[in-house]
Amino acid sequence: MTALDDDPGGPLLVTPAGTTVVWTDAILASADRLGALQVALHLDLRRVNAADHLGGVSMHSVIPPLEQARALCADAADKMRLVAEQYSSAEQLNEDLQRQLAAMMATALGEVLPLFAALVILNPLPLGVLAVGGWLALPDDGEGRLATLRDWMLAHPQLVTSPEFVRFVSLLATSIDDGARGATGVPFWLSPLFSSDDNGVASGALTVATLGGVFGMFHESDVVVERVRLETPASAPTGARDLLDRVPEVNQVRIETYEAPGMPTRYAVYIGPTETFSPFATTEPWDMTSNVYGVAGLSPGSLRAVEDAMVDAGIRSGDEVQVVGFSQGGLIATMVAASPDWNVVGAATYGAPAGNISLPDGVAGIAVRNTDDFIPALAGPQLDHHLVQIEREAFAGDTAPPTGIAAPAHQRFSYEATADAIDEAQSQAIRSQLSELERFGDGYVENGGSITVSTYHAVRVN
């Protein structure tokens, strides 16, 4: 099963740019309409007050109902806003308490790990017996017990496809650094001294990279980028789904060059998702090594490949750029947008583990996440709010995720369904950002210009 016949997703949850208040798209759209109606009624009242007569109708009989209707609209909009703010505040308080508890537990676990390791070194027999016994308890289907475990996980995708599991992963991502400090003897009450702007996500990822390096994992290397195709499309993208559809795979980077007489040259950069999930680096730079290095705030191979492709496409530091990415591509797109080396004015990310990266002012766009997709949670909670945050449960209610697919809520077809829902959204918060993204390429073909596509493929070397 690779696609869904009917959309099983839930409602869109929207956090407008610059806020931390979560609305549903429907309620936000209703608030927009109430606000517009209130303004219209206010203008009507001014017209009535300025009129000499109303064709025989008493002005005193018209003004009170108009004022009452205007006041009701204002009151309803205020109450909607208050409910959304109270809900968001309660959720934030709950999340803060959970993170503090997770940090305490991680620190305590870290404190006992050295003792546990010493006991294992001195007497490894009990642990060995438990490990071998657990391994032998798994059925062997002839392909090996690892294949059996893999098949069992694919047959039970609900274990990793739920908002509750996503919350657990997010708490884990912000607690790894606490566990590492506990292992070195730093008590929990000293943790505030090590606090960071990203809840310790970057230092936790760095810990993972460092520990993995001991076993030969997460080895970064140089990358080489080659342009493999050049073509000219007919139009600029329209809508969230069209943006996502242009994100490449296999050939990891697509750059659209917008040129027209009398118009500034602009560039849209589309960045593909992870291609291999092995922690051991091969020739593929869109791998777990780049994921870990990216979340850690280092210089992953996929980022360097994208920037090399941008230079090859002729992008200079002052040129206006729009970035779009899915999964790891969204992480790298966010890193490009955050870099002072590039003039990124628009961004759209889907399922990106990039919540711990801060963006500069002046970047318009959307950050899309499925709330039952644990991949974005690997970067912890969403801390930056320059972009409109749009969330939706891919498999809502009693809808079971499809079997035989790893992480169904993170698959492209799940985000395609969410993108379709975004294109149908009615709230001004979403519509305004989509309009900004669409306007980036408006008028180039119509004014005698062209949109040229360059596709790039990168490999690791050394």
State residue 336's pLDDT score.
Answer: 98
Provide the CB-side half-sphere exposure for 86 (13 A, CA): 6
341 confidence band (pLDDT: 50, 70, 90): very high
Q: Are 346 and 440 in contact (CB under 8 A)?
A: yes
Q: Is pLDDT above 80 for 199?
A: no
Cα–Cα dist 426/428, whole Å: 6
pLDDT score of 127 more than 60: no
Count other C-beta atoms under 10 Å from residue 241's C-beta: 19
Calpha distance 383→279 (Å, rounded): 27
- Res 1: pLDDT: 41
Residue 29 — pLDDT band, cuts 50, 70, 90?
A: confident
φ, ψ of residue 127 to 5 degrees: the values are: -65, -40
Mean pLDDT for 422-440 is 93
What's the mean pLDDT in 246-254?
Answer: 96
**In the prediction, which pLDDT does 30 show?**
81
**Segment of 68-72, 195-199, 230-234 carrying the highest mean pLDDT:** 230-234
At residue 129 the predicted structure's pLDDT band, cuts being 50, 70 and 90, is low
Average pLDDT, the chain: 84
Confidence of residue 77 (pLDDT cuts 50, 70, 90): confident
Is the pLDDT confidence value at 257 over 80? yes
Is residue 183 a contact partner of residue 110, using CB atoms and an 8 Å limit?
Answer: yes
At 430, the pLDDT band (50, 70, 90 cuts) reads: very high
Asked whether the beta carbons of 315 and 321 are under 8 A apart, the reply is yes
Residue that has been written with the tokens 């499925």 in this structure? 370
Mean pLDDT throughout 35-62? 69
Which pLDDT value is given to residue 67?
77
Q: Are 254 and 270 in contact (CB under 8 A)?
A: yes
> 76-90, 125-139, 197-211: which range is least confident on average?
125-139
Q: Is the sign of the CA dihedral 343, 345, 346, 349 positive or negative? A: positive
* Amino acid 168: pLDDT: 84
Q: Are 105 and 173 in contact (CB under 8 A)?
A: no
Reading the block at residue 198, the tokens are 């990203």
| Mean local confidence (pLDDT), 114-140 | 59
What is the predicted pLDDT for the residue at 435?
A: 94
Per the model's pLDDT, the better-predicted residue between 127 and 23 turns out to be 23
Residues 6+ apart with CB under 8 A from 369: 350, 351, 352, 376, 382, 389, 390, 391
Percent of the chain with pLDDT over 70: 78
Strand partners, 15: 389
pLDDT attached to residue 140: 65
User: What span, in angstroms and rounded, lies between the C-alpha atoms of 376 and 390?
Assistant: 13
What is the per-residue pLDDT across 169-187, written as a single tens digit (0 to 9) for each? Answer: 888 887 776 666 666 666 6
Is residue 376 within 8 A of residue 169, CB to CB? The reply is: no
Q: Residue 110 — very low, low, confident or very high, per pLDDT cuts 50/70/90?
A: low
Residue type, 111: E
Residue 371, CB-side half-sphere exposure with 13 Å CA sphere: 16
Res. 158: pLDDT tops 80: yes
What is d(CA 401, CA 413) in angstroms, rounded to the nearest whole number? 12
Q: Which two tokens stand for residue 70?
A: 């205007």
Q: How confident is the model at residue 397 (pLDDT cuts 50, 70, 90)?
A: confident
Query: Position 89: which residue type?
Result: S
Q: Which residue has the higher pLDDT, 427 or 50?
A: 427
Average pLDDT over residues 85-108: 67
For the record, the structure tokens of 232 come out as 């000219």
Task: Give the integer Cα–Cα distance in Å for 374 and 401.
Answer: 14
Residue that the structure tokens 């999930």 belong to: 277
CA distance 40 to 46: 10
Q: pTM score, two decimals? A: 0.82
Mean pLDDT of 406-422: 95
- Can you give the three-state secondary structure of the chain, one letter per residue? CCCCCCCCCCCCEEECCCCCCCEEHHHHHHHHHHHHHHHHHHHHHHHHHHCCCECCECHHHHHHHHHHHHHHHHHHHHHHHHHHHHHHHHHHHHHHHHHHHHHHHHHHHHHHHHHHHHHHHHCCHHHHHHHHHHHHHCCCCCCCHHHHHHHHHHHCHHHCCCHHHHHHHHHHHCCHHHHHHHHCCCCHHHHHHHCCCCCCHHHHHHHHHHHHHHCCCCCCCEEEEEEEEEECCCCCCCHHHHHHHCCCCCCCEEEEEEEECCEEEEEEEEECCCCCCCCCCCCCCCCHHHHHHHHCCCCCHHHHHHHHHHHHCCCCCCCEEEEEEECHHHHHHHHHHHCCCCEEEEEEEECCCCCCCCCCCCCEEEEEEECCCCCHHHHCCCCCCCCEEEEECCCCCCCCCCCCCCCHHHCHHHHHHHHHHHHCCCCHHHHHHHHHHHHCCCCCCCCCCEEEEEEEEEEEEC
Q: Tell me what pLDDT residue 276 has.
A: 93
Inform me whether the pLDDT recorded for 329 exceeds 70.
Answer: yes
Which of 71-80, 405-414, 424-433 is predicted with the least confidence, judged by mean pLDDT?
A: 71-80
Tell me the pLDDT tens digit for each residue of 273-314: 999 999 999 999 999 999 999 999 999 999 999 999 999 999
Stronger pLDDT, 356 or 119, i.e. the higher one: 356
pLDDT reported for residue 103: 62
Q: How far apart are CA 81 and CA 429, in angstroms?
A: 14
**Which of 192-206, 212-226, 232-246 is predicted least confidently?**
192-206
Q: What mean pLDDT comes out for the span 72-77?
A: 77
Nearest by Cα to 21 from 12, 29, 13 = 13
Report, as an integer, the average pLDDT of 98-124.
61
- Structural domain boundaries of the chain? 28-92, 103-199, 222-461
Six token digits for residue 359: 């963006």
Q: Average pLDDT, stretch 239-263?
A: 96
Residue 384 has pLDDT above 70, yes or no: yes
Report the pLDDT value the prediction gives residue 200, as an integer from 0 to 100: 77
More confident residue, 59 or 416: 416
